[in-house]
Amino acid sequence: MKRSNGSSRLRINSDMDPLKAQTSPGHHRSSSPSSKPTKSTILLIIASFTIALGLLIGCYSILSSGKNRRVSLRYSVIIDGGSSGTRIHVFRYRIESGKPVFDFGDENYASLKLSPGFSAYADNPEGASESVTELVEFAKTRVPKGMLKEIDIRLMATAGMRLLELNVQERILEVTRRVLRSSGFRFQDEWAFVISGSDEGIYAWVVANHALGSLGGDSLQTTGIVELGGASTQVTFVSSEIVPPEFSRTISYGNVSYQLYSHSFLHLGQDSAQEKLLESLHNSANSTGEGKVPDPCTPKGYILDTNSQKDLPGFLAEKGNFIASLQASGNFSECRSAVFAMLQEGKDKCTYKHCSIGSIFTPNLQGRFLATENFFHTSKFFGLGEKDWLSEMILAGKRFCGEEWWKLKVKYPTFKDEKLLRYCFSSAYIVSMLHDSLGVALDDERIEFASEAGEEDIPLDWALGAFILNTAPTSDYSGKSRKILDLSKYKI
């Protein structure tokens, strides 16, 4: 019922006597004070009073329900400590009939990313406090000031932190905890931690299927996720194969349980893999004593200024000796071959039925897939279409890798060197991982690159999945705030 309708029904014409309106024509009613009201008149009065009372109650209910909707608004804040940067997510949602209702539109969701990631502060943990403080201040502008103490804030770090030694991780986390304790938000020390790679993959799978409307439905109708991050790559999907326990995860959403294959290939994110390849080429140059060896993944003509490494990508800025020992040769096919050899390292030690990447078990990909993060960014850079994009990636990569560096600088004048340098390697890496290693056909329309999904264009960010999975009620949900669960220890 709309409030305007309720109000209009309460309008009563003060000039009309409701009793007169019900008097039948041709019947004389005495106006004498001594005359007694008839039974029908009494019933009419009671009925009129009942109707009026009902309208008043209805109007109150409308106003009250509007108030309850405002009171039922909830907020949640998650900080994603990624390898290339740190992003804060501020969520607003409402509770209806005891269940959360999610809406990731601009009014209910906001985020901000700062670079670099936490792993950059390995030698200076205190440096992490500045970015966390700035992110917290951003979050405060997106929530009611009077609710700060009621809003949980959590920090979940990913692959960049997983690459660090545990004692270094802990020193950085302790700096962030100190900031979060004094933030004004509700926070507990255990709410700042490093999540596992498979958790990251599962959270990404959750938000993708929520966006597509398949979460809570038939497991065979769900969509898998392949993420290419900076430090790791995640593969998560429902598989009908028998999956070894170390790769199998079970989650429940609503009344449906999902058996998922989920694995994170640490060191095989885009940045880490490129660094690994350059280091391998550098070692090869040292072992042969030839001075410089060809680097097929860097466009021809690129020369490192050894006196200034500002143009290098952040993950290589302190390792310029890698580049200094190499000769940029810009050849997509050779880059693809070098990358494939790297992805297959250790395959001779595979103890499973089949291993697609190294010695890690990977079942055959089933159903639809979304390729996210750097899969998306590289595809958009080259302007690839949604169909046959893997085939197009090969053509685009060949053109880019084979072009002279100075011509690329002219063609892409707004791109910084550190960004532009990535795309020769990235194009070859994507084709080698998806097609050469995981077996995705070049014309397979079941896999799409994406950064958003669903009719509402929900961002495919794993932090949204963490928010959904840990906010939605489960069999043991009490309506109280819960710590984000370590999925390796609990069945959701």
| Residue ranges of the binding site for ATP | 230-234
List the structure tokens of 481. 């705030």
Q: Which residues are annotated as a binding site?
A: 230-234
449 CB-near residues (< 8 Å, 6+ apart)? 370, 371, 372, 375, 376, 379, 380, 384, 386, 389
336 CB-near residues (< 8 Å, 6+ apart)? 397, 428, 431, 432, 436
CA-closest candidate to residue 313, choices 418, 160, 425, 416? 418
Stated length of the chain: 492
CA-closest candidate to residue 122, choices 85, 177, 164? 164
First to last CA, the chain: 38
335 CB-near residues (< 8 Å, 6+ apart)? 296, 297, 397, 401, 424, 425, 428
Q: Tell me, what DSSP letter sits at residue 344? A: T
In what helix (H) or strand (E) does residue 341 lie, and over which residues does it extend? helix 332-343
In what helix (H) or strand (E) does residue 453 lie, and over which residues does it extend? strand 452-453
List the structure tokens of 265. 């290939």
Beta strands 152-157 and 458-459 are unpaired
Q: Are 366 and 238 within 8 A, CB to CB?
A: yes
| Alpha carbon 222 to its chain's center | 17
Q: Tell me, what DSSP letter sits at residue 233? A: E
* 200 is an active site residue: yes
Catalytic position from the list 96, 134, 200, 246: 200
Residue where the block lists tokens 């020369």: 303
Q: Which residues are catalytic?
A: 200
